[in-house]
Structure 1
């Protein structure tokens, strides 16, 4: 896809007379700036939280994600500054958590925001990281929809599944430790919703 984008970009450059690094729309530049800002904020919080993590498993997940996000940052910046294919193309993030969720709610004490850095714990840290990953995924999606530069658009679009995978990994970690509990509807209500939609019948080729 990047090769096709590169060819299109070269054709666009010839027709527009603009160098690749200037082939961005104004709205696109503002969205990209916000997306890079969201990614930067997330990366900075990985650093801020690092010394306060207690669980080695959480520390390992965070280090792996931070390394991947740092390369993602460099890849985006490479094309943002050149308008061309990046030196390091978009990679694929593979989480190490299994994808089994634990359903149901267990009684727990009401939570309040921490008032001191001494109260910072793994639940708070993993929740903060998950929030950043959700913000990055949302910002990247909006940016991909607004981007006019084909290479940059593809980089953001291809990066979204990776950020989603990281957010899912962090959710699974939280769920396993009962930091993120998943409520369910009553079986009859669940079935009623599932059965409230039906497939389209007949020939769908026309």
Structure 2
């Protein structure tokens, strides 16, 4: 075995490739958000894109810093919080069919928000998957800590779409929810066991 396993600034080759994929993915999402911002018409969507872009850019810098320096970045990652959390609208109604656009001028706020949602979900999956493969403890923690933030940002994009009827959620009937819940039970306690 060459090198010291205690050298905290060292990275494995597989980890290097994963970090390259993570950082490249972050750059791609950030670049797309810049393009989306230019094309968006709704001021609320523009604010959402700006807010999320600022947050992701800061986390890109922290991720790059942790990998380049091999140590904890100058500050901890922060949690992303949706500023105004509207309720989910359940139910469906007839909607116009979707079709691919033929030229950039046909891009709509619905499309932009949908693309943002897809990118955020993909990045959350990538971060979760690669954090399980990172050997460097600091890089692993920095990357893993961002997964809930990308989930939250994706949820915010979903709420934007849902609030406008662009991402409809059929309601689960109460009887079906109860049937599912009642098909599971707590683990039986052995005789003589106390507490939980």
Aligned partners of 1:87 and 1:158: how far apart in 2? 15
> Considering only aligned residues, what root-mean-square deviation do their CA atoms show, in Å?
1.9
Deviation string, structure 1 residues 169-189 (Cα, Å, up to 9, x no partner): 111111101111102344433
Residue 160, structure 1, aligned to residue 153, structure 2? no
Aligned partners of 2:167 and 2:84: how far apart in 1? 15
**Large movers: runs of 4+ above 6 Å:** none
Which residue, 17, 29, 34 being the options, matches 1:47?
Answer: 34
Matched residues, number = 191
Q: Which runs of 5+ in 2 are unaligned?
A: none
Checking the alignment, whether the CA contact within 8 Å between 1:38 and 1:132 is kept in structure 2 is: no
Q: How much does 1:79 deviate?
A: 0.9
Structure number having the greater helix percentage = 1
Q: How much does 1:194 deviate?
A: 2.2
Which residue, 101, 109, 134 being the options, matches 2:96?
Answer: 109
Aligned partners of 2:141 and 2:110: how far apart in 1? 34
TM-score, scaled to structure 2: 0.90
Checking the alignment, whether the CA contact within 8 Å between 2:80 and 2:153 is kept in structure 1 is: yes
Aligned partners of 1:101 and 1:153: how far apart in 2? 33
Aligned partners of 1:74 and 1:186: how far apart in 2? 45
Q: How much does 1:157 deviate?
A: 1.1
Checking the alignment, whether the CA contact within 8 Å between 1:31 and 1:142 is kept in structure 2 is: no
Aligned partners of 2:64 and 2:91: how far apart in 1? 43
Deviation string, structure 1 residues 61-93 (Cα, Å, up to 9, x no partner): 110110010000000000111101112321121
Residue 100, structure 1, aligned to residue 80, structure 2? no
Aligned partners of 1:89 and 1:52: how far apart in 2? 33
- 1:8-157 to 2 correspondence within 5 Å? 15-16=4-5, 18=7, 20=9, 23-157=10-144
Q: Which runs of 5+ in 1 are unaligned?
A: 1-13
Deviation string, structure 1 residues 147-192 (Cα, Å, up to 9, x no partner): 1101111101111111111111111111101111102344433322
TM-score, scaled to structure 1: 0.86
